[in-house]
C-alpha cells in the first residue's frame, strides 16, 4: 500500500515535471536554446495566482487565467528582448543570457514579494479519495494534477500533429531556412512556441504550488532544472519523450526520497541525468543525430 501511494504521488509530481518539460523541449526543439528562465516563469505564475486569489480575493479560476495570461506575455517579451537578437550568436552567449534572465526574474520577485514564504491556498477543493478502506489516501491535488497534465499532453499532441500551426512548428524545428522558404513565418512560430511553453509553465506553477503550498522567489528553480533533466531523459525535442521522462523522473524522485534518503533524493535525480547522458545521450525517444563535418 505504501508503495502504491508513493507511486501515485510520484506520478503526480512527475506529471508536473512533464508539463514543465514540454515547455523546455518545445523551445529547445525550435530555438535550439536552453531556456533557463523557464523555471522562473513557473514561479511568476505561482505568485500571480497567489495575488489574485489571496490579495484580491477572486475565485481560483480567475487566478489561474491571470497567471496564464501574464506568463504568456512574459514569455513572449523575454524572447523578443533577450533571445531574438542572439539567434545567430554562439550557444555559450545565449546560455549566459538565459541565466541572466532567470536571475533577473528571481531577483525582481525577491524585490517585489520579499523573501518570506507565502502560503499558497490550494486551487483544488476536492475531497481526498480513500481506497482499500482508507489505507490508500489520494489527495484531491494529486488527482487534479494527473488529470490536468494528461489533458494538456493530449491537447498539445493533437495541436502539434493535427493543425497547420503545429505543422509549422515541426517544420521550423526541422529546418528553419527551408521552413522560411515554404512561406512559414519563423519569427511568429518561435514566439508562439515561447507563448505555449510559458502558458504551460503557469499551469505547472499553480499545480506545483497547490501540492507544495509554500511560495518563494526560488520556488521555480529546482523544478525547472529537474524538468530539464526529464526533457533530456525522454529525449530533448520530443514531445512524448518529455511526458515519459517527466513521469519517470517524478516516480524516481518520490521513491528514492521514501526508500533511500530524503536528503539525497535530489542527488539521485541528477545522477539519473548523468547516467542517461553517458549511456544514451539522445534520451529514451530522441533521435540520434550524426554530426556533419
- Cβ nearer to other proteins, comparing 92 with 181: 92
Question: Which one, of 20, 287, 9, 280, lies nearest residue 143 by Cα?
Answer: 9
Name the strand (E) or helix (H) holding 137: strand 136-138
- Least Å distance, CB 100 to other proteins, is 3
What is the nearest approach in angstroms of other proteins to the Cβ of residue 265?
8
CA angle, 115 as apex, 114 and 116 as ends, to 5°?
A: 100
Written as nine digits, the cell of 26 is 518545445
Tell me if 248 contacts other proteins by CB under 8 A.
no
Which is closer to other proteins, CB of 128 or CB of 281? 281
Instruction: Pick the binder of other proteins from 111, 150, 151, 178 (CB under 8 A).
Output: 111
The dihedrals phi and psi of 214, each to the nearest 5 degrees, come to -130, 120
| Least CB distance to other proteins at residue 288 (A) | 14
Whether the Cβ atoms of residue 24 and residue 227 lie closer than 8 Å to each other: yes
Count of residues that interact with other proteins, criterion CB under 8 A:
44
Apex 130 CA angle, 125 and 135, nearest 5: 140
Site string for other proteins, 203-232 (x = CB under 8 A): ------------------x---x--xx--x
Query: Cell triple for residue 125?
Result: 477543493
β-bridge mates for residue 138, sequence order: 129
**Exposure string for 202-225, b = 16+ CB within 10 A, e = fewer:** bbbbbbbbbbebebbbebbbebbb
Helices (H), 212-264: 221-234, 239-259
Task: Please give the torsion angle defined by the CA atoms of residues 101, 157, 204 and 259, in that order, rounded to the nearest 10 degrees.
Answer: -110
Strand partners, 137: 130
Q: Residue 186's Cα: distance from chain center in Å?
A: 23
What is the nearest approach in angstroms of other proteins to the Cβ of residue 127?
Answer: 36
Cβ 260 to other proteins shortest distance, Å: 10
138 binds other proteins, rule: CB under 8 A: no
In angstroms, give the least distance from the CB of 82 to other proteins.
6
Site track for other proteins across 60-89, x = CB under 8 A: ----------------------x--xx-xx
Among 56, 61, 69, 274, interactor with other proteins by CB under 8 A: 274
Pick from 69, 270, 280, 287: which binds other proteins (CB under 8 A)?
Answer: 270
- Least CB distance from residue 177 to other proteins, whole Å? 17
Binding residues vs other proteins (CB under 8 A): 28, 33-34, 82, 85-86, 88-97, 99-101, 103-104, 106-108, 110-111, 221, 225, 228-229, 232, 261, 263-264, 266-267, 270-271, 273-274, 277-278, 281, 293
Amino acid at each position: 500500500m505504501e508503495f502504491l501511494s508513493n507511486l501515485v504521488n510520484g506520478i503526480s509530481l512527475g506529471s508536473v515535471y512533464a508539463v514543465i518539460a514540454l515547455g523546455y523541449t518545445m523551445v529547445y526543439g525550435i530555438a535550439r536554446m536552453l531556456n533557463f528562465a523557464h523555471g522562473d516563469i513557473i514561479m511568476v505564475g505561482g505568485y500571480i495566482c497567489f495575488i489574485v486569489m489571496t490579495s484580491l480575493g477572486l475565485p481560483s479560476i480567475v487566478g489561474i487565467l491571470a497567471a496564464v495570461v501574464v506568463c504568456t506575455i512574459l514569455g513572449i517579451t523575454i524572447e523578443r528582448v533577450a533571445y531574438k537578437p542572439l539567434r545567430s550568436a554562439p550557444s555559450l552567449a545565449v546560455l549566459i543570457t538565459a541565466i541572466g534572465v532567470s536571475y533577473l526574474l528571481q531577483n525582481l520577485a525577491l524585490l517585489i514579494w520579499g523573501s518570506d514564504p507565502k502560503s499558497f491556498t490550494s486551487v483544488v477543493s476536492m475531497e481526498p479519495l480513500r481506497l482499500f478502506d482508507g489505507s490508500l489516501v489520494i489527495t484531491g491535488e494529486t488527482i487534479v494534477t494527473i488529470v490536468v497534465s494528461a489533458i494538456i499532453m493530449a491537447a498539445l499532441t493533437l495541436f502539434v500533429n493535427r493543425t497547420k500551426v503545429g505543422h509549422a512548428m515541426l517544420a521550423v524545428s526541422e529546418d528553419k531556412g527551408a521552413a522560411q522558404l515554404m512561406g512559414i513565418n519563423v519569427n511568429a512560430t518561435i514566439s508562439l512556441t515561447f507563448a505555449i511553453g510559458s502558458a504551460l509553465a503557469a499551469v505547472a506553477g499553480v499545480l506545483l504550488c497547490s501540492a507544495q503550498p509554500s511560495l518563494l522567489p526560488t520556488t521555480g528553480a529546482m523544478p525547472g532544472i529537474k524538468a530539464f533533466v526529464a526533457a533530456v531523459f525522454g529525449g530533448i525535442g520530443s514531445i512524448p519523450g518529455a511526458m515519459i521522462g517527466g513521469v519517470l523522473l517524478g516516480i524516481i524522485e518520490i521513491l528514492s526520497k521514501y526508500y533511500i534518503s530524503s536528503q539525497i533524493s535530489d542527488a539521485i535525480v541528477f545522477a539519473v541525468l548523468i547516467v542517461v547522458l553517458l549511456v544514451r545521450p539522445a534520451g529514451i525517444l530522441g533521435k540520434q543525430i550524426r554530426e556533419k563535418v
